[in-house]
Structure formats: structure tokens, C-alpha cells
Amino acid sequence: MPIAVDIDVMLARRKMSVGELADLVGITPANLAVLKNGRAKAVRFATLAALCEVLKCQPGDLLRWEAEDATGG
């Protein structure tokens, strides 16, 4: 998928656990893991805003576009 998720990078920078972030954002750790691991098909703007508020970052710090290679990977 051409959208890469860098939540784990921000978690490391903030020295925060997945469970702690999930609690502060108001989502389950399982749903946060799906998003963090790039398996989510969508993210609500309210969730993205809450992640940015808690992590004190911009949406572009959490999500980035990567071109797919010619083999379709």
C-alpha cells in the first residue's frame, strides 16, 4: 500500500506505549495496532486529530505516501 504509517516512530520519540496511546486517544489497543501496522483501510479524521493532539504532531508526521515499485509491491 502506498500509504505508510509512522505511529511507531512517534511512539518511540514520545517514549509512550501502544496501550498508553490507545487509552489517551480513546480507542482499543487492538484497533491502534491495526492502524499502526498499516492494515487499516481507513481512519476517521477525529481519530487522526486525537492522535495528533496526544502525540503533539501533525498528520504528516504519522502518515506519508510512498510510490509503489514497478512490480506492484
Q: Each residue of 23-32: pLDDT tens digit?
A: 999 999 999 9
Residues 6 or more apart in contact with residue 52 via CB below 8 angstroms: 58, 59, 61, 62
Q: Which residues pair with 4 in a beta bridge?
A: 64
pLDDT at residue 46 is higher than 80: yes
Considering just the CA atoms, what is the radius of gyration of the chain in Å? Answer: 12
Local confidence band at 50 (pLDDT 50, 70, 90 cut-offs): very high
32 burial type by CB count under 10 A (0-12 exposed, 13-18 middle, 19+ buried) = buried
Domains detected in the chain: 3-65 (1.10.260.40)
